[in-house]
Structure 1
């Protein structure tokens, strides 16, 4: 029995990137031998075991053969005769197909170290096309390692496009697509994930609402970058600077989906895109099984981001309506997240990246001032029934008006 550290842990050690998970491959062992040493078996499709003390995963070396459609359509051979090189050959990228023995020696039969040095994401073999999930995984790795200068090899991108055009991507479960996409959104450069999926024709299959944004023009006065797809990626970049929350980044990604539904005859104007986007966001979230938290913030961001952009033009009554519709009183943290999405949208434009965004500050101050109104004092003053709500709104409008009068914009 020989045990090797494999995959991402080896890759990240060599990159000096933080190692989160350690996976191990065991060569020359049977399931009974693992169980006799105190390991706990957890794998259903192939033998994976938890270490008795560290609880890290130890998998028997295995080979796979394509037997059906999708990323689950494989048969597995994990006999004692499977070699380490055979196990590594089934992995997706050369930089993920390295192992390290107990003495720290690197086993690298597919030249992963060379591709690390050349900052290249390259498939191990032509068997890459057998697993459609690899399209999403490679796009996610591109988003993670973009900060180091990595790019996808042309021949690997060609295979990703081949998978997309083959129809195999539709065999993925919505839950798996969301899992990979959510992880990608939390990477340092999530925009690379979506740009990569577009380049290999995968974005149109699972997220057509986003895919169609490229090529749709915006007014040059407000959007020097013109293209809505480019603007969306810039907004996502800005969201990364502002928040590490998945919901904020997803809402930034989805906030302008409505521009893909406006009348082309009116372009570059997109009147009404805010409410048009609600249907598209719901369709996207239904298809990829996005979390409710992400959906809810994206819907708020779509419907009300233009209100916040025009904050200083709004009547105090309209400001209160937005606060009420966003349920800021019961969900202040979500409202604060919405302000971050608006900041990202304002700064996600060519030449506006470092521009102060006082509108969000004003809206947040309006919320804080209005939330100080004590409904118990209104009740104590003798108001009853519907009159309580009317008086609460009146007092909130008054403090918002007072706040606006003190601002010099």
Structure 2
């Protein structure tokens, strides 16, 4: 039995990047042997084990053969006779298909180290085309490493374009697509992810509204880049991506992607309130309308994210305007309904009195 460190940990160590997670491949072992050594089996589709002390994942070497469409359309074979090279060959990119032996020596049958040095994202074999999710993964790695000079190799770009032409993306389930988009939004240069998808033709299938014309795509990328530079949350980045679209397009596409509700809701608010961000003069009435529309009274945290996102849009919310809105919100939220009740207001009249008082303090805060 031999154990190898594989994948991203080997890649990142060679790049001089801090290693966060370590994965291991075990060659020449059976599940019974692993259990006997104290490992706990956790893999349902193929044998994966947790180390009894480190809790890191150890997978038995395996091969995969395409049997159908989609993420689960593979037959997995795992046995002691599967070699390390066979296991590495099933991986997506050469830079992810390297291993390190227990003595520290590098096992690199597909030229991953050379591709690291030449800054290329290149597929390991033609088996890459068997899993359309690898188009999104490759785009995500491009977004992660673009700042280091990495780019998708020409032959890999051509293969991904052919996969799109062949209709392979139609076999992806929304949950897997969303998972990759969510990860990509938080990479170093998330714009690169969508640029690669656009070049492959995948964007026109996955988020066609963004690919309809260059202005829409360019504005979305400008806003997304601004949110990334500000280090904003996933919800803000997602909302900025969709801001050039219509409310109906945002509603339909975010539902199709099965994005979480917090991302959907903020994207909807941003597109509905984006025109507000460009207004030069603010009246108390207009600001109160904004607060009510955004349900800022019950969702103050989300309102804060809304302002952060609006400030990142092209021609969006100016810093001084944002400061005034935050000050107005703080004053308006301080309106005490109990004092109005003590004055005798109740029911509909109480709601109207709260609205009048909020309008008054907003007006003072905007001065």
Q: Which TM-score tier does this pair reach, normalised by the shorter chain?
A: over 0.9
2:355 is aligned to: 393
Query: Does structure 1 conserve the Cα–Cα contact (< 8 Å) formed by 2:5 and 2:24?
Result: yes
Q: TM-score, normalised by structure 1?
A: 0.87
| Structure 1 position 357, deviation (Å) | 3.0
Distance 1:283 1:194 in 2: 19
- Deviations along 1:167-219, one digit per CA (max 9) or x if unpaired, are 1111111100000110001111111111111110111112112222x33xxxx
Distance 1:139 1:146 in 2: 10
1:110 is aligned to: 110
Distance 2:288 2:78 in 1: 64
- Deviating more after overlay: 243-252 vs 136-145: 243-252
1:291 is aligned to: 260
Determine helix, strand or coil for the equivalent of 1:279.
Answer: helix
- Deviations along 1:123-178, one digit per CA (max 9) or x if unpaired, are 11111111111001000000111111110001101111111111111111110000
2:210 is aligned to: 210
2:364 is aligned to: 402
1:255 is aligned to: 243
1:371 is aligned to: 333
Distance 1:93 1:69 in 2: 21
Query: Does structure 2 conserve the Cα–Cα contact (< 8 Å) formed by 1:308 and 1:363?
Result: no
Query: Does structure 2 conserve the Cα–Cα contact (< 8 Å) formed by 1:178 and 1:289?
Result: yes
Determine helix, strand or coil for the equivalent of 1:5.
Answer: strand
Kindly report which structure 2 residues correspond to 1:122-271, keeping only aligned pairs within 5 A, or say none.
122-212=122-212, 214-215=213-214, 227-257=215-245
1:330 is aligned to: 298
Query: Does structure 2 conserve the Cα–Cα contact (< 8 Å) formed by 1:243 and 1:249?
Result: no
Distance 1:366 1:241 in 2: 27
- Deviations along 1:224-252, one digit per CA (max 9) or x if unpaired, are xxx23112101101001223311011001
CA 1:162/1:16 → structure 2, altered by over 3 Å: closer, same or farther? Answer: same
1:79 is aligned to: 79
| Structure 1 position 22, deviation (Å) | 0.8
- Deviations along 1:384-405, one digit per CA (max 9) or x if unpaired, are 221111111111111222223x
Runs of 4+ in 1 over 4 A off after TM superposition: none
Query: Does structure 1 conserve the Cα–Cα contact (< 8 Å) formed by 2:63 and 2:86?
Result: yes
2:289 is aligned to: 321
Determine helix, strand or coil for the equivalent of 1:344.
Answer: coil
Q: Unmatched 5+ residue regions in structure 2?
A: none
Distance 1:51 1:97 in 2: 22
Instruction: Count how many residue pairs are aligned between Structure 1 and Structure 2.
Output: 367
- Deviating more after overlay: 391-400 vs 357-366: 357-366
Which of residues 284, 297, 307 is equivalent to 2:276?
307
Distance 2:136 2:187 in 1: 13
Distance 2:225 2:29 in 1: 47
Determine helix, strand or coil for the equivalent of 1:345.
Answer: coil
- Deviating more after overlay: 318-327 vs 361-370: 361-370
Which of residues 322, 326, 342 is equivalent to 1:380?
342
Kindly report which structure 2 residues correspond to 1:39-50, keeping only aligned pairs within 5 A, or say none.
39-50=39-50
| Structure 1 position 71, deviation (Å) | 2.8
Distance 2:36 2:303 in 1: 55
Query: Does structure 2 conserve the Cα–Cα contact (< 8 Å) formed by 1:70 and 1:171?
Result: yes
Query: Does structure 1 conserve the Cα–Cα contact (< 8 Å) formed by 2:277 and 2:311?
Result: no
Query: Does structure 2 conserve the Cα–Cα contact (< 8 Å) formed by 1:6 and 1:24?
Result: yes
Distance 1:306 1:336 in 2: 17
Query: Does structure 2 conserve the Cα–Cα contact (< 8 Å) formed by 1:2 and 1:28?
Result: yes
- Aligned-CA RMSD value: 1.5
1:268 is aligned to: none
| Structure 1 position 365, deviation (Å) | 1.6
| Structure 1 position 27, deviation (Å) | 0.5
- Deviating more after overlay: 90-99 vs 392-401: 392-401
- Deviating more after overlay: 32-41 vs 358-367: 358-367
